Amino acid sequence: MATKTQRHKNFYKLNSSLSTIFLSAFVSLWQKKSCLIYAVLLFSALSSCTGADKETNVEYIHQDFLYLIPQPMSLEKRENSFKLDVETHLIFAPELESEGNYLSNLIESSSTFSVPKNLKSKTITPTIELKLVNEFPPELQNGEAYRLIISEDEMQITALTPVGIMRGIQTLRQLFIPAFHAQEKRSAWYVPCLKIEDAPAFEHRGLLLDVCRHFFEKDVILKYIDLLAYYKMNILHLHLTEDQGWRIQIDKYPKLNKISSWRKDTTENLYGGFYTKTDLKEIVAYAKERHITVIPEIELPGHSQAALAAYPQFSCNGGPIEVANDWGVFKEIYCAGNDSTFIFLEDILKEVMEIFPSEYIHIGGDESPKFRWEHCAKCQKKMKDEGLANEHELQSYFIQRIEKFLNDNRRKLIGWDEILEGGLSENATVQSWRGMDGGLAAAKDSHYVIMSPTSHCYLDYGLDAIDLKKVFEFNPIPEGLDKSLHKYILGAECNMWTEHVPDKKNLDSKVFPRLIAMAEVLWANPDKNNFNEFYLRLQKHYPVLELFGVDYGSEMLPAKINTSFSDSHELVLLINKNLDDLDIKCRWNCPDCDTNFTDCDYHQPFLDTLPFQLELRAFKNGKLYGEPIFQKIEFHKGVYANVTYKTNYNKSYDGGGIFGLVDGKLGSENFRDGNWQGFFGVPIELDIDLRARGLTKISYIGANFYYYSNAWIFLPEKFQFSHSNDGVNWTTCYVIPKINHRQYIKAGQGIQLIESEIETPISMRYLKIKIEGIDKVPDWHEAAGQYSWLFIDEIILQ
């Protein structure tokens, strides 16, 4: 019996039974465009057996029309279907001309016919009518609400505003079969009869796209606007300026495009680009047609190194400065003590506002190291003149001055949650990214909030940190916020930072399908227990996403790998499948071989103390699902000892929680893999009690540490441990000498083992461990003065 993968390969030999070939063709269609010819032939052979095109179409409708995302507020299925063909007329009032044209263009691009528009005679049927109404029931009192009623001879979308009409049109789009989206020119289409009433749970439903770290062509942006519209998202937040590149044409300061838009890549070639005003106006108009708002972000006072490379006179020390060609946070920021800096920024914002009509302008405000300001005479004088106590208040002064300018121009300011530090200006809206707390504080202070916590909304993170289910379970309303203040939570955005996303293929695989879960959360506010139902609905969207040219990624890691400690002192490996429809295969200590994957033992005890590596692969419908997973495991003498923390690890990097450093699981090259425990601005200090084993002879103590200076993760400088066999009398054993941090900068990111062999093994039951890092990022570093991280995966005792 062939395995599923072998069966797939057999397709190319065409030597299997018809049913097998059909299955393979279907799988191939998902995988490879080169297989399309085979697949189409087989599909047409099949349709000639099952009858007319029309019947297939109707059959599809009755089975599948419930798979809408986001799920509407109410949906009532009715008998029969509406036939859209050359007889159909489209009727709409003049104020709905844009929406009416949008819909008729959609229909025409997939049909052999066009729909006559606004032939007044009501006797003509069938009709599609778009209609504004003055009255809606209380649950639909929302500009984006709509009612869609489809009967056999009439289809009607009503709403209070044109925006609601557009949302209704997007729902209608999802009722067509995939062939409609393939723009097959057919003479008739069918949509099911039904009644839908619908309104969004949150008014701000967005995607941030960073076009600075990597530049994406205008066509990619337009495609994303279409996809946002299809899922009823309404905000595209364009992150237009960064240390690594300036992406918007500014006429008054041409060097922003001649110099700031270009950085040197690793091969010293120039990388970059920018959108002309014509490009951006086209983007804005395209979004407007779909009732999506484009919010521009112009970063200040930090993340401004590219601008300062062209205009160093607005920095604190006058340069010279280069456009950043590495990732991270940089200390070159706009000088707050120089009034001409504000003139420069206001000139830029004037041109930005001419292009973008959005109510909001995002000014960044995040990750702005104060190092230059602390050492700048002009900034220090400004603080003195304005009576500002510290550099945080100077940042607050900076933001408030920009906010006043925006308000004077009838615009509102959004900034990242750092703008809370040093006092928040009166009308500012806060985008909370460092967890939910910033948003909570701002809402309590009656400020509007957009939620984008790193815990749920960062699409640049891997599936090990944020998978589809995690996004689905996101609640933008922070715990502890009084119900009367919920109105301040406008909604949320997914943040797509692109340091490690060089092209559209990568972008698609990061954004999809997770963005679709966010669309469901923000529009439908689903019951968090209904993930499985959402998952099934989502599966029906993949064929359409393929037709839209989306290279979507997988939903989650195929399995969770955990350990536990048995009563008989075995380390037990636990493998839990994350999705029922996956087939999981495992192999051990075999990174390069290719044959010996076997079914996994999902509950496997180990007595062997040698370190080993598990490799796990998953298959869905016979196709490899996601990336292979590697997990290193070491069964050592400290496994599942009692650990008491004296300092707290960061919740975002808990490494598996209180047993995270003694669970036998070692970290990988990815510091977000769930095995690494992160300590921010504090030493690692903990007590270990080898209670289960009692007195234990130890001849080795070691731990892996992660280094990645761009992410402010540094190796420790001191590793000290004391041991005792009674908890009263202690011997301090080892101090690791200082690390030269600079030598690790060149290495980028990686793992360093710090260990000590004990020549004569020592019996101990208790251990006190204190591992000290550098408190703050050192002066020579770009992020000088920020707190630093220590990352550790396991404390290994042998």
The tokens for 466 are 């944020």
In the complex with Zn ion, the residue whose CB is nearer, 225 or 394, is: 394
* Shortest spacing between CB 250 and Zn ion, in angstroms: 22
- By beta-carbon proximity to Zn ion, the closer residue of 337 and 439 is 337
Nearer to Zn ion, 98 or 380 (CB): 380
Query: 154 is written with which tokens?
Result: 């009439």
Closest separation between CB of residue 340 and Zn ion, Å?
A: 12
User: Which two tokens mark 210?
Assistant: 């960073």
Q: Please say which residue, 235 or 310, places its beta carbon nearer to Zn ion.
A: 310
Q: Which residues of 281-312 are buried (b: 16+ CB within 10 A; e: fewer)?
A: eebbebbebbbbbbbbbbbbbbbbbbbbbbbe
* Residues 322, 227 contacting (CB under 8 angstroms): no
- The radius of gyration of the chain's CA atoms, rounded to the nearest angstrom, is 30
Report in angstroms how near the CB of residue 362 gets to Zn ion at its nearest. Answer: 23
Q: Considering only residues 378 through 407, tell me which ones interact with Zn ion, judged by CB under 5 A.
A: 378-379
Q: Could you give the CA distance from residue 428 to residue 451 in angstroms, rounded to a whole number?
A: 14
Q: Does residue 369 belong to the site contacting Zn ion (CB under 5 A)?
A: no
Give yes or no for residue 335 binding Zn ion (CB under 5 A): yes
Cβ 759 to Zn ion shortest distance, Å: 56
Q: Which two three-digit tokens encode residue 217?
A: 């062509």
Q: Which of 115, 193, 233, 316 binds Zn ion (CB under 5 A)?
A: 316
Q: How far is the CB of 332 from Zn ion (least distance, A)?
A: 11
Q: How far is the CB of 505 from Zn ion (least distance, A)?
A: 42
Report which of 169, 145, 30 is spatially closest to residue 545, judged by C-alpha positions.
30
For the record, the structure tokens of 643 come out as 């650990």
Give the C-alpha separation, 217 to 236, whole Å. Answer: 15
Please state the closest distance from residue 239 (CB atom) to Zn ion, in A.
Answer: 25
Using CB under 5 A as the binding criterion, the count of chain residues that bind Zn ion stands at 6
Interior angle at CA 541, CA 535 and CA 545, nearest 5? 130
Q: Smaller CB distance to Zn ion: residue 115 or 376?
A: 376
Q: How far is the CB of 286 from Zn ion (least distance, A)?
A: 40
- Look at residues 299, 279, 271 and name the one whose alpha carbon lies nearest to residue 217: 279
Least Cβ distance, residue 540 to Zn ion (angstroms): 56
Between residues 391 and 793, which has the closer beta carbon with respect to Zn ion? 391
Tell me: does residue 302 bind Zn ion (CB under 5 A): no
In the structure encoding, which two tokens stand for residue 198, read together?
A: 């619908």
Instruction: Name the segment binding Zn ion (CB under 5 A); options: 6-14, 377-385, 477-485, 562-570.
Output: 377-385
d(CA 773, CA 765): 26
Return the number of the residue (308 or 376) whose C-beta is nearest Zn ion. Answer: 376
Going by C-alpha positions, the residue among 654, 687, 660, 659 that lies closest to residue 770 is 687
Q: Select from 189-197, 333-341, 473-481, 654-662 the region that touches Zn ion (CB under 5 A).
A: 333-341
Asked whether 754 and 739 are in contact (CB, 8 A), the reply is no
Find, among 572, 632, 630, the residue nearest to 603 by Cα.
572
Give per-residue burial for 181-208: e unless 16+ CB within 10 Å, then b: beeeebebbbbbbbbbbbbbbbebbbbb
Best CA proximity match to 414, nearest among 235, 200, 280, 228: 235
81 close to 126: Cβ distance less than 8 angstroms:
no
- In the shown chain, the binding pattern of residues 616 to 655 toward Zn ion, with x for contact by CB under 5 A and - for none, equals ----------------------------------------
E strand intervals along 96-221: 127-132, 146-150, 154-159, 188-198, 204-210
Of 449, 416, 445, 448, the C-alpha closest to 433 is 416
Other beta carbons within 10 Å of 641: 24
Query: Cβ–Cβ contacts within 10 Å for residue 783, how many?
Result: 22
Contact assessment for residue 124 and residue 197, using Cβ atoms and an 8 Å cutoff:
no
Structure tokens at 765: 């039951």
* Shortest Cβ 393–Zn ion spacing (Å): 14
Q: Minimum CB separation from Zn ion for residue 747, in Å?
A: 33
Can you list the positions of beta strands (E) in 51-166? 74-85, 89-92, 127-132, 146-150, 154-159
| Only segment of 152-160, 234-242, 277-285, 370-378 that touches Zn ion (CB under 5 A) | 370-378
Task: Give yes or no for residue 321 binding Zn ion (CB under 5 A).
Answer: no
Q: Which is nearer to Zn ion, 336 or 490 (CB)?
A: 336
* C-alpha distance from residue 705 to each of 38, 256, 609, 658, 715 (Å): 52, 40, 21, 18, 6
Residue closest to 66 by CA, chosen among 57, 58, 76, 56? 76
Q: State the burial class of residue 149 (Cβ atoms within 10 Å of its Cβ: 0-12, 13-18, 19+).
A: middle
Given the complex with Zn ion, which of 316 and 774 has the nearer CB atom? 316
H helices of 111-217, in order, are: 162-174, 178-181
Smallest separation, CB 382 to Zn ion (Å): 8
CB of 262 to Zn ion, least distance (A): 26
Q: Which of residues 2-21 bind Zn ion (CB under 5 A)?
A: none
Which of 78, 384 has the CB closer to Zn ion? Answer: 384
Query: Which range touches Zn ion (CB under 5 A), out of 145-153, 167-175, 371-379, 394-402?
Result: 371-379
Query: How far is Cα 260 from Cα 528, in angstroms, rounded to an integer?
Result: 45
Beta bridge partner(s), residue 575: 561
Cβ distance to Zn ion smaller for residue 372 or 411: 372
Smallest gap from residue 500 Cβ to Zn ion (A): 32
Nearer to Zn ion, 379 or 524 (CB): 379
In terms of CB distance, is 450 or 783 closer to Zn ion?
A: 783
- DSSP three-state, residue 351: helix
Question: Least distance to Zn ion from the beta carbon of 522, Å?
Answer: 40
Q: Does 376 bind Zn ion (CB under 5 A)?
A: yes
H runs (alpha helix) in 339-376: 339-355, 371-374
CB of 757 to Zn ion, least distance (A): 51
Q: Which is nearer to Zn ion, 378 or 623 (CB)?
A: 378
376/519 with CB nearer Zn ion: 376
- In whole angstroms, the minimum distance from the beta carbon of 428 to Zn ion comes to 23
**Among 206, 337, 364, 526, contact with Zn ion (rule: CB under 5 A):** 337
Which residue lies nearer to Zn ion by CB, 213 or 303?
303
- Count Cβ atoms below 10 Å from residue 41 Cβ, excluding itself: 11
- For residues 148 and 194, the answer to whether their CB atoms sit within 8 Å is yes
Judged by beta carbon, residue 399 or residue 616, the one nearer Zn ion is 399
Question: Closer to Zn ion at the Cβ: 173 or 378?
Answer: 378
How many Cβ atoms sit within 10 Å of the Cβ of residue 729? 9
How far lies 524's CA from each of 65, 232, 278, 472, in Å?
17, 10, 36, 11
Amino acid at 540: K
Minimum distance, C-beta of residue 394 to Zn ion, in the bound complex (Å)? 9
Q: Binders of Zn ion among 731-760, rule CB under 5 A?
A: none
Which residues bind to Zn ion, rule: CB under 5 A? Answer: 316, 335, 337, 376, 378-379
